[in-house]
Amino acid sequence: WHLHWRIIARVVRAGYNIMTLDNDFVMFRDPYVHLKGPALRDVNMLCLYEGGSTINCNAGFIYVQNAAPDGPVAWAFRHAAEIPLLWADDEFKHIQSLGVMDEHRPALCLTFDQSYLHDALLSAAVGRPLHMWALMTCQPDTWGAKLDSG
């Protein structure tokens, strides 16, 4: 995942368009008919809908076009690649200090790559770093129930 996000960030920063697909993704028609058509030609980044929220991007299909090399799309992919490495470099001590890492699930905490992309896109949209999705995977199973109960 790190190299995937990093390569996308570098390609976008170099001023190129890029399409990435999971290896289980098949296209039966030319997507550029739609991607370059009137409805989508001015959109800088497209991805599959992951569900739950419109900011949830499924990385099985990503297309970036005409994005500014120093703009939010390039920043989001760089952020998605770098933040998990920074957290891992200190063995997650910072995350543990926040009291959000469940001691019974350390192997699962912060390992879902799409959480980093969700957070990076949300951060780019609001203009400041947020780590809601990545930290949510660190919570005990009862955390969601506590949120639901108010």
User: Which residue range forms the structural domain that includes residue 30?
Assistant: 2-145
Residue 95 within any structural domain of the chain: yes
Residue 107 within any structural domain of the chain: yes
Residue 9 within any structural domain of the chain: yes
- Looking at the structure of the chain, the number of domains it has is 1
Give tens-digit pLDDT for 38-87: 999 999 999 988 776 666 788 889 999 999 999 999 999 998 888 878 77
Please state the pTM of the whole predicted model.
0.77
Give tens-digit pLDDT for 106-139: 555 656 677 788 888 888 888 888 887 777 766 6
DSSP conformation letters of the chain = -HHHHHHHHHHHHTT--EEEE-TT---SS-THHHHTSTTTTT-SEEEEE-SSSTT-EEEEEEEE-S--TTSHHHHHHHHHHHHHHHHHHTTTHHHHHTT-S-TT-TTTTT--HHHHHHHHHHHHHHTS---HHHHHTTS-THHHHHHHT-
Residue 150 within any structural domain of the chain: no
